[in-house]
Amino acid sequence: MGKADKRQAKLSFSGGEKRGATSEPRPGDADTEEGPSEMSVRAMFMELKTSLAGIDAKLDHVTERLDRIRARVDDHDARFETLETRTSDIEDARSGDREQIAQMERLMEVIRNKNEDLEARSRRNNIRIVGLPETTDMSRMEDFVENMLQELFPGELSRMLLMWPLDIYSIRIKGRGDLGEIGILSELEFHHDQGCEKVSAQRQFNLRSI
């Protein structure tokens, strides 16, 4: 055999060619290699199945925890809504209480002013005349009071009294027959503390019903 006909590969005893260390792989060589066995594939499948089962169990656990969290959130929302409703009711009640307190304060202010006025009147140089003669002619009350004072206090005293501001108190009663409601003279109150300078040329008569 010549040098040109020498081959790098040698024949094996089985009839195949034995390649040298430096020979390149040929396309048909891959077909002669053995693939994974059935047992190994089944083992890999079982391992994968076990892993998936573990993942499913973990997902179920996570889903269960999320459901519990969602239930707690819904419960808190319901409680917050109840608290908001109660707070609104309390604010409405407080608003009504504030209005009642304001009304009571206004009433107390009126009572306080009346009380101060009554206490002050006891220290004033005022005159109150009670037990007056009865009359139902309220249209000519000023003339009636002037004539009555001149009869009760003749002289300078009646003229001085007529210079003071005067409150005339009458009692409203139901008259007989067709008279309807009538007023009966009850009390005269002269206010010396208000001063004569407040009285104009026409005397100050204030007719009040009690």
Residue 128, strand partner residues: 189
Domain boundary among 92, 123, 154: 123
Domain boundary among 123, 148, 164: 123
Collapsing DSSP states into helix, strand and coil, what is residue 130? strand
List the pLDDT tens digit at each of the 210 positions of the chain: 444 444 444 444 444 444 554 555 555 554 445 566 777 888 888 888 888 888 888 888 888 899 999 999 999 889 988 888 888 888 888 888 888 899 999 999 989 888 887 777 666 666 666 666 666 565 666 777 777 777 777 777 777 666 666 666 665 555 455 545 545 555 566 655 544 443 333 344 454 444
Q: Which domain holds residue 150?
A: 127-209
Looking at the fold, whether 100 and 177 belong to one and the same domain comes out as: no
Q: For position 115, what pLDDT does the model report?
A: 83
Rounded distance between C-alpha atoms, residue 113 and residue 105, angstroms = 12
Q: For position 105, what pLDDT does the model report?
A: 92
Number of H helices, E strands in the chain: 3, 6
Domain boundary among 108, 123, 138: 123
Looking at the fold, whether 165 and 179 belong to one and the same domain comes out as: yes
Residue 33 lies in a domain: no
Largest CA distance in the chain: 184
pTM: 0.28
Domain count, the chain: 2
Tell me how long the chain is.
210
Distance of CA 158 to the CA centre of its chain: 64
